[in-house]
Amino acid sequence: MNKHLTTVAGVAVDTRHWIAGRRVASTGTFPDASPIDGSTLGDIARGTATEADAAVAAAKAAFPGWAATSRAERARILHAIADGVEKRLEELAIVETTDNGALLRSHRRGVMPRVAHNFRFFADWLLTLEHGDFETRGHSNHVSWDPAGPCVLITPWNAPLMLATWKVAPALAAGNTVVLKPAEWSPLTASLLADIAAEAGLPAGVLNVVQGYGSEIGDALTSHPDVRRISFTGSVPTARRIAASAAANLTPLSLELGGKSPLLVFADADLDLAVDLAVEQYDNAGQVCLAATRFLVEESVADEFTRRFVEKASSLTQGDPRDEATDIGPNIHPRQLEKIDGFVQRALAAGARAVIGGHPKEGQYYAPTLLTDVAQDSEIVQEEVFGPVLTLQTFADEEEAIRLANDTRFGLAATLATGDPERAERVTAQLVAGTVWVNCFFVRDLQAPFGGSRLSGVGREGGTWSFDFYCDVKNTVTAPNGWTNHG
């Protein structure tokens, strides 16, 4: 029996790293526990600088061959990876639900199909990537996207495989090699992705997966002189550490750092729609970077909005995420649960009122919470909680709504509910956010740029923006009639 294999919901998962096309163990391990019941899922290889160096070396060695691979062949392999994801969709869904506590029905119907789509989209986009040639005083200009080199991709625990492949797919499509470090609280589907990629024919060393703690392996990866790009999704404090680590080598960074996004509800909005949008913010137990956690509601409809919201939110079912009837699962880790409750209890002590919730439940579950009577400069309004905790404030007019919406350090997203298209145009033009949704939420197209303003991040990815980041964009200028025939 292979001591490095663990079985999760009937699926065998290798707990070792994947480096240079083979499994590599570490001298140490760390436990991975399920948020559903706290059970240990496996002892995961705990990487250090040794594994970081080996993975980057493998990526560097594989880079020339992969970079020289034709666009058509790269695209073919990415589609083969997508085929492998679809073939193992049920296995990926149940493993990830067990590992991070998100709803199984969501993984089956949305998240894992999106993983396959990430590979297909960037494979297809690669084949159409171009910038038309243009002339400058008779000289021709030709823009090309050259692969940059080994990329380090560090991904979060709230949507592990989807957010990992959001980075892996464009990096590979661009002709780069990858070292992927998944979050230590949800590493299992990244290991399965390595198996799927190998089965699809991805050459050894092109994708490497290493596991461990940021302070032990992450710093070694982000400070490595042979790394040409770093993409990170996570917290602001960790991003600062990564940026400092990368600074010595001037390694380009793409950072998506969460937010404190507003939902603006005007009196002319369809209130049923607004309430539906509001309740949706409890998705994934509130562990969504884009979540509109601050409700800003026009005074004249605030009471009715709150009444309808409480009625709808109270009908949500919280429990085992493997149950089709469950709407809200557990939070990822006891430390995260403690952090969430700390935010809530400090807010209540400062005078906030819990309209619903306001307390943890048995296990790693936190009651869906809505807090009112909160000050704009309070911690609960200004800091990201990353749990099922929302706040409600009122505004008198459009000017105040925009001021409150923009009055945080973040700027990832914003959601607007209004029946007036002219108002929507005026307000969205003034909101500080990378994405604004009007009378909808979480409609995301990979053609669109994604990223945040202020402390919500650096850079944009999606469509051509992804290739702009993962490549060295080059312009070649050729003189007219400048050729000399030496024959």
Distance, CA of 470 to CA of 302 (rounded, Å): 45
> Which of 385, 380, 356 lies closest to 368, judged by CA?
356
Pairing of strands 40-45, 29-33: antiparallel
Question: What's the chain look like in SS3?
Answer: CCCCEEEECCEEEECCEEECCEEECCCCEEEEECCCCCCEEEEEECCCHHHHHHHHHHHHHHHHHHHCCCHHHHHHHHHHHHHHHHHCHHHHHHHHHHHHCCCHHHHHHHHHHHHHHHHHHHHHHHHHCCCCCEEECCEEEEEEEEECCCEEEECCCCCHHHHHHHHHHHHHHCCCCEEEECCCCCCHHHHHHHHHHHHCCCCCCCEEECCCCHHHHHHHHHCCCCCCEEEEECCHHHHHHHHHHHHCCCCCEEEECCCCCEEEECCCCCHHHHHHHHHHHHHHHHCCCCCCCEEEEEHHHHHHHHHHHHHHHCCCCECCCCCCCCCECCCCCHHHHHHHHHHHHHHHHCCCEEEECCCECCCCCECCEEEECCCCCCHHHHCCCCCCEEEEEEECCHHHHHHHHHCCCCCCEEEEECCCHHHHHHHHHHCCCCEEEECCCCCCCCCCCECCCHHHEECCECHHHHHHHHEEEEEEEECCCCCCCCC
Active site amino acids: 256
Q: Which residues pair with 475 in a beta bridge?
A: 143
Q: Residue 399: left if φ>0, alpha if ψ -120 to 50, beta else—which one?
A: alpha
